[in-house]
């Protein structure tokens, strides 16, 4: 399930935004910027008080995707694509680390 989440669902949503980017108008991009900034702040505040490692990873993903959408607003397509690839690689390793910690410590998170 973590592989499906980190490799396909999050990345495909961002990639579809990239494909259809040229059809967006200025008002939509302004709304996207505001939602992205709000998403980054909200995920930061929620992750500060979280003790569940799985939820921390989810909030981190929320923050990363918000940053990628903010890159779209400023038309930094190359950097958003590079960050998207970096996010996919980093999150897959992070899911493996969290899963191995849960498995080897026999600790329900």
Question: Do residues 81 and 19 lie in contact, with contact meaning Cβ atoms separated by under 8 Å?
Answer: no
Q: Cα separation of 94 and 32, whole Å?
A: 27
Residue 22 has pLDDT above 60, yes or no: yes
Where are the domains positioned within the chain?
Answer: 2-105
pTM for the model stands at 0.75
CB contact burial 78-89 (16+ within 10 A = b; e otherwise)? eebeebbeebbe
Question: Given pLDDT bands bounded at 50, 70 and 90, which one contains residue 41?
Answer: very high
C-alpha distances (whole Å) from 12 to each of 2, 5, 38, 64, 89 are 15, 10, 22, 14, 14
Average pLDDT of span 15-33: 75
């Amino acid at each position: 399930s973590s592989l499906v989440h980190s490799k396909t669902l999050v990345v495909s949503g961002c990639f579809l935004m990239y494909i259809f980017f040229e059809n967006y108008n200025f008002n939509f991009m302004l709304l996207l910027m505001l939602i992205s900034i709000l998403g980054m702040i909200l995920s930061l505040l929620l992750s500060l008080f979280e003790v569940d490692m799985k939820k921390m990873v989810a909030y981190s993903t929320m923050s990363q995707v918000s940053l990628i959408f903010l890159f779209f607003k400023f038309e930094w397509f190359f950097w958003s694509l590079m960050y998207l690839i970096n996010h996919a690689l980093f999150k897959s390793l992070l899911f493996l680390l969290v899963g191995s910690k849960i498995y080897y410590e026999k600790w329900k998170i």
